[in-house]
Amino acid sequence: MSSTGRARELRSAAWVAGVVLSACAGSALSSKTEDEARTLVPVPICVQRLPRRATPGSIVSLAAREYWSLLLPAFEPRASTLDLTLPDCSGRPTLGGAAGTLGKRPVNPDEIVFGSGPDGFKVAWLPLAAHEALRTGLLALLRQRQEVLEVYALGVYEGSVDGSRFSLERMGPALVVTAQDEHCRGAEGDRRCDSSCTVYLMGNGRLHARARFPVDHSVDARTAAAAGSAEYRFSASAEYRSDGVALSEKLSVLEQGRGEVRSIDLQRTLRLEGDRLVPSTESLWSQTARQLGLPETR
């Protein structure tokens, strides 16, 4: 073969190799992008068609009882009851089988607590009717898309209807559901509120409660087992990161007529390890409550 022919063959081989390499690089990039998209937007565990409206093309605004019917097919609108022996929209046991006595239970269809998040995501809590202050109910991560309701994860939450608040956070690319339960006492100027936050991680279409930490607490030592006249006030703020939750805690000790006489600050973390959130150390409030002989808070 002539030198000219040999050079032409080498150039042709190099061009083919370049095309192959470019194709491989493109496939790898595409695969990586798709994997990241799946992480950012979870796959629905059930997709429910929305009820038709009289005006075609109009945006469907769901009534409270329609959420019950879409998420829990065993809900009976006329009787306002829910059969806990039948599955939820994902085909799994209603409330994960954690609702106590199975069978038909009364519900109030108008009692739904919502929390909103980015990109149209929404959290909904559907509590069962009960005489107790604390109620158990279905917790759902969902999003309305044109003519359907996409449900991404379901779990169980227990709290008070009036004091529960829900939100969505990003822990890196993953969505995290937070539930804050607040209990208040006293009137007007002497009003005090205690609150704690539960963090839910998603896995296999379920919302798993993986951590709970105190947010706001206060107590007058005169009402506790310990002697003294000081008031203890605790507060915490949370920052959600790809490797877990960073907590900034502060405990203030106040005396009547003197104001704040002492304060303690603590930085701690809830470190993400697989599907668990592991605390780096105990909360300041837990330590204080134990020293004052207070009962454990929820």
Task: Give pLDDT tens digits for 209-238.
Answer: 999 999 999 888 655 555 467 889 999 999
Question: What's the pLDDT at 11?
Answer: 44
Task: Give pLDDT tens digits for 154-195.
Answer: 999 999 999 999 999 999 989 999 999 998 887 776 778 899
Question: What's the pLDDT at 148?
Answer: 93
**Largest distance between two CA atoms of the chain:** 103
Task: Give pLDDT tens digits for 89-145.
Answer: 999 998 877 665 668 899 999 999 999 988 899 999 999 988 788 899 999 999 998
Label the pairing between strands 164-171 and 174-185: antiparallel
Question: What's the pLDDT at 95?
Answer: 87
**Residue, of 34 and 181, whose pLDDT is higher:** 181
Task: Give pLDDT tens digits for 255-265.
Answer: 887 888 999 99
- 198-223 burial, b at 16+ Cβ within 10 Å, e below that, comes to bbbbbeebbbbbbbbbbbbbbbebee
Residue 269 has pLDDT above 70, yes or no: yes
- Decide: 255 and 230 in contact? Cβ < 8 Å: yes
- Sequence ranges of the domains in the chain: 42-162
Question: What's the pLDDT at 29?
Answer: 37
Provide the pLDDT confidence category of residue 55 given band limits of 50, 70 and 90. low
Query: Which residue from 298, 292, 210 is spatially nearest to 251, judged by alpha carbons?
Result: 292
- Decide: 197 and 179 in contact? Cβ < 8 Å: yes
Provide the 8-state DSSP code for 243: T
Please, what is the end-to-end C-alpha distance for the chain in angstroms? 85
Question: What's the pLDDT at 6?
Answer: 46
